[in-house]
Structure 1
Amino acid sequence: MYKVLPTFTKSKLVLQSEISSLVSTDKCRYLTKGRSYVAPAGIFAKNDLKNAAKGIDEWVQLDKGNTYVLTNYKWISMDNSGSTQLNVDFDTLYCNE
Structure 2
Amino acid sequence: MKNSNGFSWPETILSLSITFLIATTILPLLSNMMVQLEDQKRRYHTSLVLYEVAKTYTFESISTGVMYIEKVPYSYEIDNENICINYEGMREVQLKCVPLIK
More strand by share: 1
After TM superposition, the score normalised by the length of structure 2 is: 0.27
After TM superposition, the score normalised by the length of structure 1 is: 0.28
Which has the greater radius of gyration? 2
